[in-house]
Amino acid sequence: MREHTNTPRLQAWHGYLAALLAALACTFAGYAMQPRFDLVNIAMVYMLPVVGIALLSSRGAAIFSAALSVILFDVLFVPPVGVLNIEDAQYLLTFTVMLAVGLAISSLRERARLEETGRINHAIEAERERMRSTLLASISHDLRTPLSVMVGASSSLAEHGEQMPAAERSALALSVSRQAQAMAEQTEKVLQMTRFELGDLELHRDWNSVAEIAGPVLLRLREALAQHRLLTDIPGDLPLLRVDAPLIAQLIGNLLENAARHTPPGTVIQLGARKLEQFIEVTVEDNGPGLPEAALAGLFDRFREQRIGNTSGGVGLGLAICRTIVKLHGGEISASPRAGGGTRFTFTLPAEAAPQAPAEQESAQP
Amino acid sequence: MTDTRATILVVEDEPEIRRFLRSALGTEGYKVVEAGSVKRGAIDAASHKPDLAIVDLGLPDGEGIELIRQVRAWSPMPLIVLSARAGEAGKIAALDAGANDYVIKPFGIGELLARVRSALRGVVRPSGGGHTLKLGGTAIDLDARTASRDGTPIHLTPIEYRLLTCLARNTGMVVTQGQLLREVWGPAHESDTHYLRIYAKQLRDKLEPDPLQPRYLVTETGIGYRLFCD
């Protein structure tokens, strides 16, 4: 978009220069032609730059070119030479014709340019529309399925609960509860992505440790990770980071959940962190089947899962939210094939010089 | 479950939410008093003298935090907040106003009941004197300032004792970062969260079997800490 608004301005500036150079060129050509051609033909030569400038540059440059051509032609070729002869109606006509041609061409060109811009805007609008309908489709799928379960199971309970065996009743109730829980999580993700896109988010940074953020996440995801083998490698001496802890917790949680959801049971999932020069790097890797190269590109775009045929739930916002959180913190996130099979997600967070707590006076100990 | 039939005041304006709270709390053996507004809640808190109150933050005639301030002015009863808000600021404000814990809507009933039990237990236990904490194999005497792990004495620093004392006042309940920093290091250090991170790590290294996944000194990310005892 930006290129399109800049281009005509550049051409306009160049247009005036081109008009000047073209008029000079015509003047030389005119002198060369003078012995053998009529004045009216020399006037035709002066018409050329007007047409050219009107085609290639702005309306202003075209008017400038027409005026310049008429003045030069009048002063240098129409007798008496060396005087601007404005009373001669003939040459006023010449000027009017040149101006009319210049304006006509540049307005035609303007119309074509507007149509082009309109076409581009239309394409952008269409893309936006496509995103919107993808979002709607995925949300309605993600909401309708659990809603169907909830309405069906709960109405069964309400209407036939008494005739059911107790185990049947609890199974139905549990499925209502699980679906509702999943729906609550999806809703939260959509709301959060919306807040991100509206720019309605302020980071609450304070000093935190990766280990302390990761602990509660692992506790919360105990059930989701129960089928996998979890390994952790977070050194105790990592420096503290100034981050928004709940967002980083969500980021780590999304990556772990993502790994658990897309790899078969028994897969090893490893959460690691290490200090680099100016960053702390956190990795979530698995030794699952891995992702094809094609799927790695655009992995952090919204609604990706829907596009590659999502069967495991989720509107595909999880990784997009991850990317936004990392960017907000001034870090980078990427996904790559893991050496030896599987996928490796890595994000970095800038490490500032971490402050120390004041030393304690141990003499206060009773 | 509870032999004394603890009374719980539920202040929530949504009748459907009150319905399942009443049902679940009743099934657990609690006596339930219901109120739908700040005003009604304040009256019921004074007249029924409940053992615990569950307060929704958004009430039709005002903010639940108002009710929390009012009740906290005259009663130490545990207050659990129901918060629909995702933001941490609202929860911290409620906790700093005197609430002891929070549950985010939508919540599973198991989660709420666990908080209720934990809150009621916290009240019954440390009724003055003999502040001894038992965290698995670690025993800590907060008054004598001695500690041992699996029978072997371990050393805790004065600040570590102060931190534990502060958290032990309401075991199982949330104490905000701000409260801890104010009480342990003083009001000037209210936003020096790195002090807390450093000391929490030190304490976990001394007390927890697995410091990465702590059982006793638990972080409420972005909010504060809880201390669980055995």
Encode pLDDT of A125-184 as tens digits.
777 777 677 667 766 777 788 888 899 999 999 999 999 999 999 999 999 998 998 888
Q: Which CATH class is domain B7-124?
A: alpha beta
Lowest mean pLDDT among A11-25, A242-256, B56-70: A11-25
Smallest CA–CA distance, residue B87 to chain A, in Å, is 10
pLDDT band at B117 (very low <50, low <70, confident <90, very high): very high
Listing DSSP states for chain B in one string gives --TT--EEEEE-S-HHHHHHHHHHHHHTT-EEEEE-SHHHHHHHHHHH--SEEEEESEETTEEHHHHHHHHHHH----EEEEE----HHHHHHHHHTT--EEEESS--HHHHHHHHHHHHHHHHS--SS--EEEETTEEEETTTTEEEETTEEE---HHHHHHHHHHHTTTTSEEEHHHHHHHHH-GGGTT-HHHHHHHHHHHHHHH-SSTTS-SSEEEETTTEEEE---
Residues in chain A, total: 366
Chain B residues with CB-CB distance to A208 below 8 A: 193, 197
d(C-alpha A234, C-alpha A322), whole Å: 20
Give me the residues paired with residue A312 across strands: none
pLDDT digits (tens, 9 = 90+) for A63-75: 888 888 888 888 8
Smallest CA–CA distance, residue A360 to chain B, in Å, is 8
Give me the residues paired with residue B52 across strands: B8
N-term to C-term CA, chain B = 19
Give the pLDDT mean for B42-49.
96
Burial class of residue B205, CB neighbours in 10 A (0-12, 13-18, 19+): exposed
The answer to whether B210 contacts chain A (CB < 8 Å) is no
Cβ–Cβ below 8 Å for A184 and B106: yes
Per the model's pLDDT, the better-predicted residue between B145 and A107 turns out to be B145
Chain B residues with CB-CB distance to A181 below 8 A: 106, 108
**Sheet containing B7-11: order of strands:** B31-35, B7-11, B52-56, B79-83, B101-104
Cβ–Cβ below 8 Å for B213 and A219: yes
Among B93, B101, B67, CA closest to B178: B93
Chains A and B form CB pairs within 8 A to the count of 80
Closest residue on chain B to A362 (Cα): B157
pLDDT band at A238 (very low <50, low <70, confident <90, very high): very high
How far is the CA of A348 from the CAs of A141, A280, A335, in angstroms? 34, 6, 12
The answer to whether B214 contacts chain A (CB < 8 Å) is yes
The answer to whether B23 contacts chain A (CB < 8 Å) is no
The answer to whether A172 contacts chain B (CB < 8 Å) is no
Give me the residues paired with residue A333 across strands: A347
Cβ proximity of B56 and B12 under 8 Å:
yes
Give the per-residue pLDDT at A364: 43
Give the per-residue pLDDT at A358: 79
| DSSP assignment letter at A152 | H
Give the per-residue pLDDT at A309: 40
Q: Which of A212, A237, A248 to mutate to test the interface with B (most CBs of B within 10 A)?
A: A212
Chain B residues with CB-CB distance to A249 below 8 A: 221-222
Query: Strand pairing of B217-220 and A206-208?
Result: unpaired
Per domain, the residue ranges of chain A are: 2-123, 206-350
- Percentage of residues of chain B with pLDDT beyond 90: 81
d(C-alpha B129, C-alpha B11), whole Å: 34
Cβ proximity of B57 and B94 under 8 Å:
yes
Give the per-residue pLDDT at A1: 39
φ, ψ dihedrals at A90, nearest 5°: -55, -45
What's the ipTM? 0.90
Question: Which CATH number applies to A206-350: 3.30.40.10, 3.40.640.10, 3.30.565.10, 3.40.50.300?
Answer: 3.30.565.10
Which two tokens mark A152?
């069906």
Lowest mean pLDDT among A211-215, A246-250, A306-310, B10-14: A306-310
d(C-alpha B202, C-alpha B206), whole Å: 6
Q: Where in chain B is the domain with CATH 1.10.10.10?
A: 132-227
**Helical segments of A57-88, H only:** 59-77
| pLDDT exceeds 60 at position B228 | yes
d(C-alpha B118, C-alpha B135), whole Å: 15
Choose the closest CB to A360 out of B158, B211, B213. Answer: B158
Cβ–Cβ below 8 Å for B218 and A216: yes
pLDDT digits (tens, 9 = 90+) for B21-40: 999 999 999 999 999 999 99
> Which residues have C-beta within 8 Å of that of residue A54, sequence separation ≥ 6?
A62, A65, A101, A102, A103, A104, A105, A106, A109
Chain B residues with CB-CB distance to A216 below 8 A: 218-221
Give the per-residue pLDDT at B156: 95
Choose the closest CB to A188 out of B86, B89, B157. Answer: B86
pLDDT band at A56 (very low <50, low <70, confident <90, very high): confident
- Report the CATH fold assignment for B132-227: Arc Repressor Mutant, subunit A (1.10.10)
**Quick one: how far is CA B184 from the chain centroid?**
18
d(C-alpha A141, C-alpha A158), whole Å: 25
